[in-house]
């Protein structure tokens, strides 16, 4: 009964959304609505048929309490996850179909016809496939197959080193919402290993990840702009500085982590040396949950700043000199010139670095965190990727780790969509 209601609802939503979003092409409007209905119907089925709608079964509940407006409310995490899956499914299906429809409206085809060019070799039927075979096999085996596996692992109980698995419906996801992190109970496993985070609420983890993202992007771009603004000028010895400033970028995350571990280590480290030398109190870089995330942000910024500086130098050098001179003849002061000429000309580079650094902050901090804090104190510096490793490999719970990987995958999707949207807007502003 419930599957029927959900499917019907999704179909109606799909039809309605498409009916409303293509009002101009009245000739095709009905056909678009039909397409939308089909997409809406298929969307939830993608996730729900493999799960057999188990998230909505009453015996499958995962209660947790939430304080809302001063009242304690009991909520079913499994049900919430199920609803989330359905909504995501509808949204993704509608997005894909809509992009296809727009492509057809704009160009008249889905698959672009291949150009004719005298460049092409003729009469080598199977050779191009042979040339592509290693790449295609490798991405099928090491990207697409693991991506599918992630979905199936996420709905099962999978232990590292044990072949057998058991379906657990959406429990792995439900625990992301319903688990408790604050009382990070350090459970002792049967094999005697001590570990934390058996039951993790995902919210603080997201907080740490976003803190890293904002901190690193802001610091690396502000400092990069400031240094690039000076280092791009032509004066004697400028290229020496340019070379010296980018060296840290050559170091790996692990080496950077090791260096900052020794700088920040209590009592013996350079940081505490300098502070106590000036008669100031020591900062508990690695022991305090409030300070430790800053240590990660600073180390990460130090590591990648050279890359940003290099791109900003190139960007500043591409700003036409005569434009700046004309503005200064017209009486624009240096701040006005920077805000109204230089900054807009730098926009493409800022945009590129923003996303480049954002991707770095979300996905490339593992080595740094592992070396400097090991995720501690009490999980305060652990981000999503680090947690996936802790959960999947140290705690041997591959199922839960896979569920977290899927959450991370949706962040990848969000970043990609954001990037394309902004690119579109930028293109339209220019045109």
Q: Which of residues 239-258 bind another protein (CB under 8 A)?
A: 241, 243-245, 247-255, 258
Residues 343-362 that bind another protein (CB under 8 A): 352, 356, 359, 362
Query: Smallest distance from the beta carbon of 423 to another protein, in angstroms?
Result: 12
Which residue, 394, 396, 400, 399, is CA-closest to 375? 394
Which CB, 5 or 274, lies closer to another protein?
274
The whole-angstrom separation of Cα 288 and Cα 380 is 9
| CA–CA distances in Å: residue 153 to residues 17, 140, 167, 171, 408 | 33, 18, 9, 12, 15
Q: Which residue in 61, 199, 265, 288 binds another protein (CB under 8 A)? A: 265
Q: Does 262 bind another protein (CB under 8 A)?
A: yes
Q: Which residue in 21, 45, 61, 150 binds another protein (CB under 8 A)? A: 150
Query: Smallest distance from the beta carbon of 138 to another protein, in angstroms?
Result: 3
- Listed ranges 26-34, 58-66, 106-114, 198-206: which one lies at the site for another protein (CB under 8 A): 106-114
Helix (H) or strand (E) holding 65: strand 63-68
Query: Smallest distance from the beta carbon of 341 to another protein, in angstroms?
Result: 17
Token pair listed for 391: 């959960």
Residues 346, 222 contacting (CB under 8 angstroms) = no
Q: Does 268 bind another protein (CB under 8 A)?
A: yes
Q: Does 287 bind another protein (CB under 8 A)?
A: no
SS3 36: helix
| CA–CA distances in Å: residue 246 to residues 131, 173, 349 | 38, 42, 17
> Could you tell me how many residues of this chain bind another protein (CB under 8 A)?
96
Residues 292-331 that bind another protein (CB under 8 A): 302, 305-306, 310-311, 314
Residues 194-233 that bind another protein (CB under 8 A): 227, 230-231, 233
Residues 46, 94 contacting (CB under 8 angstroms) = no
> How far is CA 339 from its chain centroid?
30
Q: Does 389 bind another protein (CB under 8 A)?
A: yes
**What single DSSP character describes residue 67?**
E
Query: Smallest distance from the beta carbon of 98 to another protein, in angstroms?
Result: 17
Q: Which residue in 73, 105, 273, 287 binds another protein (CB under 8 A)? A: 273
- The values of phi and psi at residue 229, to 5°, are -60, -35
Residues 397, 390 contacting (CB under 8 angstroms) = no
As to burial, measured by CB atoms within 10 angstroms (0-12 exposed, 13-18 middle, 19+ buried), residue 278 is exposed
For strand 194-195 and strand 187-188, is the pairing parallel, antiparallel, or unpaired?
Answer: antiparallel
- Listed ranges 4-12, 21-29, 205-213, 262-270: which one lies at the site for another protein (CB under 8 A): 262-270
Which CB, 196 or 269, lies closer to another protein?
269
Binding mask 115-144 vs another protein (x if CB under 8 A, - otherwise)?
A: -xxxxxxx-xx-xxx-xx-xxx-xx-xxxx
Query: Smallest distance from the beta carbon of 63 to another protein, in angstroms?
Result: 28
As to burial, measured by CB atoms within 10 angstroms (0-12 exposed, 13-18 middle, 19+ buried), residue 192 is exposed
Q: Does 180 bind another protein (CB under 8 A)?
A: no
């Amino acid at each position: 009964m419930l599957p029927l209601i959900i499917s019907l609802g999704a179909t109606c939503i799909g039809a309605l959304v498409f009916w409303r979003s293509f009002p101009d092409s009245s000739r095709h409007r009905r056909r678009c609505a039909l397409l939308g209905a089909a997409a809406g119907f298929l969307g939830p089925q993608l996730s729900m048929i493999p799960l057999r709608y188990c998230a909505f079964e009453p015996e499958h509940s995962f209660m947790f309490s939430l304080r809302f407006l001063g009242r304690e409310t009991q909520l079913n995490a499994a049900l919430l996850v199920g609803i989330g899956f359905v909504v995501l499914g509808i949204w993704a299906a509608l997005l894909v179909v809509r992009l296809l429809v727009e492509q057809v409206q704009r160009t008249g085809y889905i698959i672009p016809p291949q150009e004719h060019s005298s460049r092409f070799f003729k009469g080598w039927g199977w050779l191009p496939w042979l040339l592509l075979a290693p790449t295609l096999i490798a991405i099928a085996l090491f990207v697409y197959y693991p991506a599918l596996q992630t979905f199936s692992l996420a709905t099962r109980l999978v232990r590292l080193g044990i072949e057998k698995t058991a379906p657990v419906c959406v429990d792995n996801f439900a625990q992301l919402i319903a688990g408790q992190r604050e009382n990070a109970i350090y459970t002792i496993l049967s094999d005697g290993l001590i570990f934390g985070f058996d039951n993790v609420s995902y919210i603080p983890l997201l907080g740490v990840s976003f803190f890293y993202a904002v901190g690193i992007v802001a610091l690396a771009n502000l400092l990069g702009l400031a240094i690039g603004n000076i280092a791009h000028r032509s004066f004697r010895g400028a290229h020496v500085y340019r070379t010296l400033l980018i060296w840290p970028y050559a170091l790996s995350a692990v080496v950077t982590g090791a260096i900052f571990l020794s700088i920040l280590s209590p009592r013996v480290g350079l940081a505490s040396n300098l502070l106590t030398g000036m008669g100031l109190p020591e900062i508990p870089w690695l022991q305090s949950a409030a300070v430790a995330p800053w240590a990660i942000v600073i180390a990460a910024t130090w590591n990648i700043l050279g890359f940003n500086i290099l791109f900003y130098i190139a960007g500043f050098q591409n700003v036409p000199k005569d434009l700046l001179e004309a503005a200064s003849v017209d009486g624009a002061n240096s701040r006005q010139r920077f805000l109204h000429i230089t900054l807009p000309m730098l926009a493409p580079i800022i945009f590129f670095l923003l996303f480049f650094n954002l991707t770095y902050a979300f996905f490339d901090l593992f080595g740094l965190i592992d070396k400097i804090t090991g995720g501690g104190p009490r999980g305060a510096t652990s981000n999503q990727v680090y947690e996936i490793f802790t959960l999947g490999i140290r705690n041997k719970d591959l199922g839960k780790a896979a569920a977290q990987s899927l959450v991370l995958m949706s962040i990848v999707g969000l970043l990609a969509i954001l990037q394309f949207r902004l690119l579109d807007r930028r293109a339209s502003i220019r045109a």
